[in-house]
């Protein structure tokens, strides 16, 4: 029988898939190495012609644990001696034992292999290329491990502490705003008194004492305006030292000019400090408006209370003994002996004792009015504190962002 011998008409095609698994590879070399190990024990057409395989009738060992070896069920065909006339005959005993019996074939399907792999489990993975797939642990598997209970409690306590702890800087800004506010009001009141407007009001009000040495109201207004302007400008002592009266004499003596220079230094320092505090207060207000809801209101409310306490305290001391209060005030800022003058000196004629009493009352009144207005505008009412109305709470609709009886964090 040669390659050109015609195929008999009644010849049937061999059954190539005895396992009945369409997903099974057609050739042994296409199978995984573990499955092919058991199949290599038997080969199609490997037995010598006319003989029987020495391993016939013996089961082959499995390739790996849990994976049964599979034997091929092919038969030897065309193993004829030269010159023989047998065509497609099967030699008796030329195939391995059970190779022609379909029921004894140990066929392995894909599902069987998967079941075997699952039986082995991911805890004992085999290297790649051995018939099983290597399974690497998931990168998030460590997240499934719960930490100890004490560690969980510690973390929860830290989170609660961080949530309940309020920032420090907003509170510092509120304290600074409350401390700056009384000083700012005091400086602004002093600036309002050291003005020609206040002089005109004083010199023209009924009951203000006149000058017994010849100054008229117009003279007082003219010369007093020079003295007040000197306190707020950048001129030197010559601004007052070169002034003369109607008779041509020097208007202010050297001692008076020296004292006015000291007063100017105190006044300008107070104005500069007040301007700096105003700038810092504006910065604090801008910060609190952005970082702390209600922080500006609380800072100004506290500042107004502090201002009222200071003004009421100083006013009580001044009312109990004005002369003592006036003397102690000058001792704080001026050297002893540099601020006392005779009754006929120009400073005393322009600014008698009643002028300083009225100036103190005006300063205290301005500061008191500003503090009271601020206190009223920043009073922590229910609406400003964010407390909801009882009706809205009963209906279950929170008003102002809060529930009944609760206070919003502002």
- Among candidate residues 230, 234, 232, 199, the one with its CA nearest the CA of residue 217: 199
Residue located via tokens 């002034």: 243
Write down the pLDDT at residue 22.
57
Tokens 């001792």 -> residue: 331
What backbone torsions phi and psi does residue 64 show, to the nearest 5 degrees? -150, 170
- According to DSSP, residue 47 is labeled S
Mutual angle of helices 295-320 and 254-291, in 10-degree steps: 150
| The predicted structure's pLDDT at residue 346 | 94
Answer yes or no: is 210 within a domain: yes
Domain-located, residue 336 = yes
Counted domains in the chain: 1
How far is the C-alpha of 359 from the C-alpha of 193, rounded, in Å? 7
Residue 250: φ, ψ to 5° = -65, 135
Mean pLDDT per 10-residue run, the chain (410 residues)?
62 58 61 52 42 43 41 39 41 40 47 66 50 56 69 85 79 93 95 93 92 90 94 92 89 93 94 95 93 89 95 92 91 89 93 94 95 93 62 45 40
Would you say residue 213 lies in a domain? yes
Please give the pLDDT value at position 50: 40
Per-residue confidence (pLDDT) for residue 65, from 0 to 100: 41
Q: Is residue 140 part of a domain?
A: no
Residue 157 within any structural domain of the chain: no
| Residue 293: per-residue pLDDT | 84
Asked whether residue 66 is domain-assigned, the answer is no
What is the structure's pLDDT at 12?
64
- Interatomic CA distance for residues 6 and 152, integer angstroms: 84
- 388 beta partners: 404
Confirm whether 72 is domain-assigned: no
Q: Which domain holds residue 203?
A: 169-379
Count of C-beta atoms within a 10 Å radius of residue 147: 9
What pLDDT, on a 0 to 100 scale, did the predictor assign at position 1?
A: 55
3-state secondary structure at position 184: helix
Q: List the helix and strand counts (H, then E) for the chain.
A: 14, 0
Q: What is the pLDDT of residue 166?
A: 72
**Would you put residue 392 in left (φ > 0), alpha (ψ -120 to 50) or beta?**
alpha
SS3 244: strand
With respect to residue 49, please indicate whether it lies within any of the assigned structural domains. no
Q: What is the pLDDT of residue 134?
A: 56
> By three-state DSSP, how is residue 74 classified?
coil
First to last CA, the chain: 105
């Amino acid at each position: 029988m040669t390659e050109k011998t015609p195929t008999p008409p009644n010849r049937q095609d061999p059954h190539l898939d005895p396992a009945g698994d369409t997903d099974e590879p057609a050739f042994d070399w296409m199978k995984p190495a573990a499955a092919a190990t058991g199949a290599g024990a038997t080969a199609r057409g490997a037995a010598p012609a006319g003989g029987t395989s020495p391993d016939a009738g013996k089961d082959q060992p499995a390739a790996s644990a849990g994976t049964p070896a599979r034997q091929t069920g092919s038969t030897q065909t065309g193993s004829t001696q030269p010159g023989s006339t047998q065509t497609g005959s099967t030699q008796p005993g030329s195939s391995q034992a059970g190779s022609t019996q379909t029921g004894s074939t140990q066929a392995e399907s894909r599902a069987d292999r998967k079941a075997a792999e699952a039986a082995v489990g991911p805890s004992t993975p085999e290297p790649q290329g051995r018939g099983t797939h290597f399974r690497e642990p998931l990168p998030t598997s460590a997240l499934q491990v719960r930490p100890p209970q004490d560690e969980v409690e510690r973390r929860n306590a830290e989170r609660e502490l961080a949530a309940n702890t309020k920032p420090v800087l907003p509170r510092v800004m509120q304290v600074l705003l409350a401390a700056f506010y009384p000083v700012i009001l005091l400086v602004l009141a002093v600036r309002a008194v050291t003005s020609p407007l206040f002089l005109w009001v004083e010199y023209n009000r009924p009951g203000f004492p006149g000058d017994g040495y010849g100054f008229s109201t117009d003279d007082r207004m003219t010369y007093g305006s020079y003295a007040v302007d000197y306190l707020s400008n950048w001129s030197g002592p010559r601004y007052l030292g070169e002034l003369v009266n109607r008779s041509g004499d020097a208007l202010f003596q050297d001692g008076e000019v020296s004292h006015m220079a000291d007063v100017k230094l105190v006044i300008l320092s107070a104005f500069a400090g007040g301007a700096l505090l105003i700038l810092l207060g504006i910065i604090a207000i801008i910060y609190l408006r952005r970082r702390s809801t209600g922080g500006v209101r609380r800072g100004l409310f506290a500042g107004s209370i502090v201002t009222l306490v200071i003004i009421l305290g100083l006013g009580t001391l001044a009312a109990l003994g004005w002369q003592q209060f006036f003397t102690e005030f000058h001792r704080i800022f001026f050297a002893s002996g540099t601020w006392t003058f005779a009754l006929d000196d120009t400073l005393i004629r322009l600014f008698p004792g009643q002028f300083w009493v009225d100036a103190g009352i005006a300063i205290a009144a301005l500061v008191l009015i500003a503090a009271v207005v601020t206190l009223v505008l920043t009073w922590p009412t229910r609406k400003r504190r964010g407390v909801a109305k009882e009706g809205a709470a009963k209906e279950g609709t929170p008003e102002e962002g809060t529930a009944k009886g609760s206070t919003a964090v502002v």
